[in-house]
Amino acid sequence: MNQYMKENIQQFQTENENKARFLIKCPDQPGIVAAVSDFLFKHEANIIASDQYTIDPDGGQFFMRIEFACPNLKEKSEMLEQEFQPIAETFSMDWQLLYVSQLKNIAIFVSKEPHCLLELLWEYQSGDLMANIALVISNHETSRETVEALGIPFYYIPANKDIRQQVEEKQIQLLEANHVDLIVLARYMQILTSHFVEKYENRIINIHHSFLPAFIGAKPYERAYQRGVKMIGATSHYVTNDLDEGPIIEQDIERVTHRDSSDDMKKIGQSIERTVLSRAVKWHLQDRIIVHGNKTIVF
């Protein structure tokens, strides 16, 4: 990590040392917003941003993201969590209290094609991806020089379906040693086992080079070309054991015509992939996503 990046992170942490976010999911009922707001007021916290959404206001689910600033937050954090618990129990809340200055540790998995990795590294260098990229893991050596030039550890672990379990054991050791919070599959072309996926539930973000649910699986651009589509896109989603069917975080599209070959579509699609994956990762880092079933609420 160069000096500019270090200074950028230090400045971010200093500016946000007294900021935190609540993510809340619970059955909808009167009084939730009032209870949370009153709790923060009693602890001298100032609400910076508040978003809420209800699925079916008549007995449905309530979702809330609230960001606040609280003096001496570090000293108060344990007390806040303890004293919020009775409110959470009253409303049957599934909740998290997340501290803005505590940057998440990311592991990026990549195979041969580097375009999504390069986008994430550029955002990281520029200070727009506020996290700690702890390591990059690949089943190819292609990106080693690029990654190590930024001072990020690069691990080459050959992988195929015959040694998948042994490979994942090595990967898990590295992830645990680096206290990884989020795994980003930046065109990592290997299927993960159910054990791995369940261990990191809602903490693995993938980019699929297709506008899901269309063209699930391999070679979507070739299949899209053969189908004669007029729009192509990319989808970023959390990984589940159902291939390419996890909760969708972000999607985008671009028009194509009969004049575009499958190679043309691939080039256009790669540009979409980069931005879609980057947005999804940023939203996760900013605690903007609540998973509900196989859907996401993105504030």
Active site residues: 244
CB atoms within 10 A of CB 129: 18
In angstroms, the CA 36 to CA 41 distance is 9
Residues 6+ apart with CB under 8 A from 178: 105, 107, 134, 135
Q: Which helix (H) or strand (E) holds 83?
A: helix 73-90
